[in-house]
Structure 1
Amino acid sequence: MSGPASYRPLLDAALADPATGVDRLAALPPDELDAALREGVHERGEAVLPLVTALAERGAGPTRRIAKRVLYRLAQSGITPPARETRPVIGRRPERPLRAWLSGIDGSGSRAAWILFEGGYGGLALCSVILNDVEGVMEVAGGEITKKRLETELARLRASQKLPWVELPPEHVIARVSEALALHPARGTGPPPEFSRWQRVFQSTGPGTGADVAPAGENPSVDQTSAPTNDPLLAERAAQLFHLPELMGWFLDPESVQSDAVKLMEARSSRLILSDQIKAEREAAIVTQVLERELTDEARRRWAKRLTEMALIFQMTARPDAAALARAAAGQLMDAGRGIQHIPFARGLAQRALEVASEVASGRISAGDVRRHPPERARSPQ
């Protein structure tokens, strides 16, 4: 090849078939490659840009240097390769919940929840919250966590918790958090400031699975039969639930029935009322007064909700009988046509509250130790 014209067939072939043409051009001696590219730029202009760019990227040694010089000359004349779309080395994925846990509900309507999230770059973060069905989100903590640390914390939790602690689908637990958050606007409050770091995560996440961190076996499923039932025979036995360790703290707030407890103590110790039947009737009347005053429609719905949530806990801890009793008691509380005084579980709530209030009045226990109302959250600034 002695002159520029002799490179024209080679350039034409390379433009027609770039896959093999680039390799054929790269095989030329450096001076001939330089001459061929100069001729191509002179006659074809921008059309040879893909060939030169490929040589600059795939060539080695002199081939790459020659191609880069040609690209520089093209750039000086205003011809540049199109900008490439760049992507980050590690793509950020949306956060997603992997696993979640819920505790049982205590007598004040509070429970704990853990939600394990996978972060945008694959790391794990654990959000721990205390939820209350009156006040909303009470406490928030958490942060980044490793798989090993998570298992350690779970083992410690199972060993120390007084209430049962079960793993549930993340969407179920997130729904409970959402319910708690929805309570704040009506009360003029907001969640703790610590929740702000999790706000975006809860809003942006969708249901997810995490096979890499999920426990062995199948993921737990929520039994849809935890809804209230209409079973009068079971409901008559619902007071048996108060003997379960998880429900030992379930009773109406003793402070709200303190005066009623004093009346009950006076009736029991009165020397004027000698008949046991009359004393029993007097006690029943006091209990009914407490029920009608304290268990409003809203309170009935709240206690029914607590029972259905505990029914799910009982089911997942292999106690179907307790779950059935809880559902039946919830069914009676949700029945607006049933008088509150005719609901055995409700009477149990009142009777236990009166007994505890009597202990407080006698000075045997502290009122603060048995208070059932959660501490009110500070009002949000207007």
Structure 2
Amino acid sequence: MTTLDVDRLLALLRDPNVESQEIATLAGVPREEAGRASRLLLGLSRAKPEEIATLPPPLAAALCRASLVAGRADVLAALAGHSGKEVAKEAKRSLHVLRSRGVAVPEPPRAPAVAPAAPAEPPLPAYASAIDGQGERAVWLPRNVPGKGIEVAQAVVSDVRGLVELQVGLLGRKEWRAFAKGLVERGATMGVGEIDRARARSLVAAARALNDASGQRVPEGADLWLAQLGPAAPLADPAARFPPLAEEEEREAVAASAKLHDLPLFRGWLADEGYLREVAAKLDEVGVSPLYIDDRQRAEQMARVVANAVDAYFDEGRRRRHASRLLAVAEHLEARGDVAHARSAAATARALVAGAPPHAVPFARLLVEKAFPLAPGPGEPAGAPPSPGAPPLIVTPR
């Protein structure tokens, strides 16, 4: 704004015959601010510097000019730090004029020194177990709560039922470090390890999306907790990470899939417990049937029952679920440097999806076969399936 503009605006503010709306239009400010500026100008000798400093820049510049005439050095000093460039320039010029006249003027307020920003605290690591044969895994997601400690959320998620459990507790920092160390040490055989925080959030959110369809009760407070975390990115398709191998390598990877059951992660993998009990009942019938004249015939029939059970077990839904679980474990194995077993797990998943006969996939066959000893001792049942699953990973925070 030029000097003429400031003088003209100041004259309008002083003229009692000029409406505040006319001043507002000229200055491009709200009418209420124009009226406030007129009142401050009328009582300029008593006006507080901070009141004038809060006026819009054109009005503040006009009152700055008036403050020079009135000798209000305190107002000029306050306006010298105004965010409006023209206002600050006008105030500094006016202060210079007062100094040249021998008037003692206060120093303009200095901008407060900017305190160095505290170094950003690295995000706390999240943890998860590898998925098990029933499609469940545990996820731990910590969050720093200033002044209180570390909030730790422990979730159990299922690829069939959804979000099964959620516990949220508060730990001190020292307790959290001990807790995280114990998780990794105690959960080593179940593949507990550090994962990306965003992935941990996505795992829980994806599981929650299944609850409505599965009918699984949503844990109390889970929806509120998820809302506080914010939106989660969709999980990437693990199949894209494992493209098919060359034909011969693919065949060899599937043929070697029985060795997967030797890994701690797969030792608890079995067919569904209810299905295994049905197979066990059929084996019991063979064990006591008078139709077989010797143990060799009886054992052969038991082997046929188990072989038929393998093919019957893998309907379309089970093929898809086991393939998805195998790919999830393949990701886990690859991340830990076990490339050979990761390739075998991924190739087995592709074989199941492609419709390969289950009895021709060693890994699939063993999901049923390893539950039943085919040569029971005298008086022993033909096959009582072991209880699948593993000890719970959830640890209650102390």
Q: Same fold (TM over 0.5)?
A: yes
Aligned with residue 180 of structure 1, among 198, 207, 215:
207
Aligned with residue 190 of structure 2, among 142, 152, 163:
163
Q: Structure 1 residues 173 and 248 mapped into 2: Cα distance closer, same or farther (>3 Å)? A: same
What is the aligned partner in structure 2 of residue 212 from structure 1? none
Aligned with residue 340 of structure 2, among 321, 329, 335:
321
Runs of 4 or more consecutive aligned structure 1 residues displaced over 6 Å after TM superposition: 51-54, 119-123, 363-367
Q: Encode CA deviations 1:202-241: one digit per residue, 9 max, x unaligned.
A: 334679xxxxxxxxxxxxxx99645676712121121111
Q: Structure 1 residues 240 and 196 mapped into 2: Cα distance closer, same or farther (>3 Å)? A: same
Aligned with residue 245 of structure 1, among 243, 264, 274:
264
What is the aligned partner in structure 1 of residue 364 from structure 2? 346
Partner amino acid, structure 2, of 1:194:
G
Measure the CA separation in 1 of the matches of 2:305 and 2:277.
12
Q: Structure 1 residues 169 and 282 mapped into 2: Cα distance closer, same or farther (>3 Å)? A: same
What is the aligned partner in structure 2 of residue 196 from structure 1? 223
Q: Encode CA deviations 1:229-262: one digit per residue, 9 max, x unaligned.
A: 6712121121111122221211012332323223
CA contact (8 A) 1:228 1:330 kept: no
CA contact (8 A) 1:97 1:205 kept: no
Q: Structure 1 residues 362 and 278 mapped into 2: Cα distance closer, same or farther (>3 Å)? A: closer
How many Å apart are 1:116 and its aligned residue? 3.1
Identity %: 26
Partner amino acid, structure 2, of 1:193:
E
Q: Which has the higher contact order (CA 8 A, sep 6+)?
A: 1
Q: Encode CA deviations 1:334-364: one digit per residue, 9 max, x unaligned.
A: 112x2223222111101123459x99x9589
CA contact (8 A) 2:127 2:141 kept: yes
How many residue pairs get aligned? The number is 288
What is the aligned partner in structure 1 of residue 312 from structure 2? 293
What is the aligned partner in structure 1 of residue 164 from structure 2? 138
Q: TM-score, normalised by structure 1?
A: 0.60
Q: Structure 1 residues 36 and 370 mapped into 2: Cα distance closer, same or farther (>3 Å)? A: closer
How many Å apart are 1:280 and its aligned residue? 5.5
How many Å apart are 1:155 and its aligned residue? 0.7
Q: Structure 1 residues 99 and 254 mapped into 2: Cα distance closer, same or farther (>3 Å)? A: same
Measure the CA separation in 1 of the matches of 2:74 and 2:207.
62
Partner amino acid, structure 1, of 2:178:
T
Partner amino acid, structure 1, of 2:310:
L
Partner amino acid, structure 2, of 1:348:
L
Q: Structure 1 residues 228 and 115 mapped into 2: Cα distance closer, same or farther (>3 Å)? A: farther
CA contact (8 A) 1:106 1:250 kept: yes
Equivalent position SS for 1:134: coil
Q: TM-score, normalised by structure 2?
A: 0.58
Measure the CA separation in 1 of the matches of 2:157 and 2:183.
17
Q: Structure 1 residues 276 and 316 mapped into 2: Cα distance closer, same or farther (>3 Å)? A: farther
Partner amino acid, structure 1, of 2:366:
G
Measure the CA separation in 2 of the matches of 1:35 and 1:184.
68
Equivalent position SS for 1:370: coil
How many Å apart are 1:282 and its aligned residue? 2.3
| Residue 370 (structure 1) aligned with residue 387 (structure 2) | yes
Measure the CA separation in 1 of the matches of 2:322 and 2:244.
12
Residue segments in structure 1 that go unaligned for 5+ positions in a row: 1-10, 16-32, 60-95, 208-221, 374-382
Partner amino acid, structure 2, of 1:109:
G
How many Å apart are 1:268 and its aligned residue? 5.5
Measure the CA separation in 2 of the matches of 1:35 and 1:178.
62
CA contact (8 A) 1:254 1:353 kept: no
